[in-house]
Structure 1
């Protein structure tokens, strides 16, 4: 039952991620709002890449980032970033469909460089916090990046402020 709830949320939110990635124009990929920020392209790639972490999180008891099968990153082409998202989304969906409610209680941890980065935590909590909420957080950042560049923002949870203003102006 819990797996089905997580899968339902995952599918709905992945569509919102897809809308947001599709709203990113090529010309803003090198923009970054501050010296300490990622570029728009780096942030978009990271959002797409988090979906690749689902199989590592769902199938094993430990995600060792040192063994992570990353690909050569390309922050300069929005079409490649969108393609990366679609491939990773498919793997993430397949991994969530393979898990059972009983597996959600299993403990999971992340290590990097021989150090524990995330201590043993029930898998359900990791799926919601480390994966899902992580994506939502970065989508929020991306919306700010796009707004700062004057780009149209898609409505992820209904009409945007701009959409509402346009509707009121027509009345």
Structure 2
């Protein structure tokens, strides 16, 4: 299996997991914050979805400057979040389909102005800067659902809400 095939499978799986989470949420939940220091659920879901977009938006460049290349996604509805996720997924598939193995080995830099956060091959950026980061935040979102008493979908197997007793 090529790097491309593996990433296409992973992107499809993670996008579907995010869709499963979004199916449980309605617009009334987007302003929920479990703590004053927490992001709202809407902002958190927006960040998760924008992280999905970084495959096409970020990895097609040699560097990604959070001061100039990053525009936070501030959704106003669940429908808007779902539309963005779907549109970005299609762009991601197109991007991965044109990358060859050599492209995945090229250095990629994440920085804020002159401050370098990370400089890794694109294959590493895909895995831990994009996917691990969005999985982390999606896990946070499942806690928000639990606190809102919304059944949590199983993302990597049945959740406590789906487990047969």
TM-score normalised by L of structure 1: 0.87
CA contact (8 A) 1:146 1:153 kept: yes
Instruction: Show the counterpart of 2:85.
Output: 85
Structure with greater proportional helix content: 1
Structure 2, unmatched stretches of 5+, are none
1:115 deviates by: 2.5
- Give, in whole Å, the separation in 2 of the partners of 1:52 and 1:72: 10
1:30 deviates by: 0.9
Deviation sequence 1:4-45 (CA, Å, 0-9, x none): 112211111111111111211222111111111100000011
TM-score normalised by L of structure 2: 0.90
Look up the SS of the partner of 2:4 in the other structure: helix
Deviation sequence 1:55-114 (CA, Å, 0-9, x none): 23322211123332637623x311112112122222122212221112111111022233
Aligned length: 164
- Which of 1 and 2 has greater Rg? 1
CA contact (8 A) 1:31 1:40 kept: yes
Structure 1, unmatched stretches of 5+, are none
CA contact (8 A) 1:66 1:112 kept: yes
User: Post-superposition, which runs of at least 4 consecutive aligned residues in structure 1 deviate over 3 A?
Assistant: 69-72
Instruction: Show the counterpart of 1:128.
Output: 127
CA contact (8 A) 2:30 2:42 kept: yes
Aligned CA-pair RMSD: 1.7
